[in-house]
Amino acid sequence: MSPEVPKYQPSLPAGELRQGEILSGVVQVRVTEGADLDADPLPLTKIGHDWTVVITQDCDLEQDARARNGKASQDKLLRDVLLCVAQEASTLEAGGKDIWKRIQQNKDERYQFLERVPPELDALEQGVPELVIDFKQYFTLPTDELYERVKSQAKRRCRLVNEYLAHLASRFSYFQSRVALPEEHASE
């Protein structure tokens, strides 16, 4: 039997965010839907996300961190970090056994299934439940704001590594680059 390839490693409490890093307790602030955009102050809504995954590329996050520490030019600063919303797999309403099986096997292009993270690989030593990322549910936060959030209420938990990180990045990029056809190909 071959040795198991690690899928996760614990997040570090400090340092740059990493692609594939799982965060808990991220809060997103948006202008309230239907609000008068000329109002002063603008009415804001807080949206709490139990689980999010950093999707911004590692190389960009690393260069951003270097620029923030004065070790790279300011043109390397990232204005925003791209995050995907994840939810506990047990709460996903996928619409039947066949779809759920495809999701669990990462055969459905819209979703990414992440297996449970054991406590020893979670920075909080609590473990992370099975998660499902919906590639249609993503948002950005200003980079400096996200770094402040992970110093307070949001928590850095763990991150995907090796081929598992590459698999996530590849699948997200594939989903975002889909081309809608006006109609399906016909078969005679």
Query: pLDDT for 27-77, tens place per residue?
Result: 999 988 888 888 888 889 999 999 999 999 999 999 999 999 888 888 999
Structural domain contains residue 89: yes
Q: 44, 29 in Cβ contact below 8 A?
A: yes
Rounded to whole angstroms, the Cα distance separating 42 from 72 reads 36
Structural domain contains residue 107: yes
Please state, in angstroms and as integers, the Cα–Cα distance from residue 86 to each residue in 15, 43, 129, following that order.
Answer: 23, 26, 11
Counted domains in the chain = 1
Tens-digit pLDDT profile for residues 21-31: 999 999 999 98
When comparing pLDDT for 114 and 73, which is higher? Answer: 114
Range of the domain at 50: 15-174
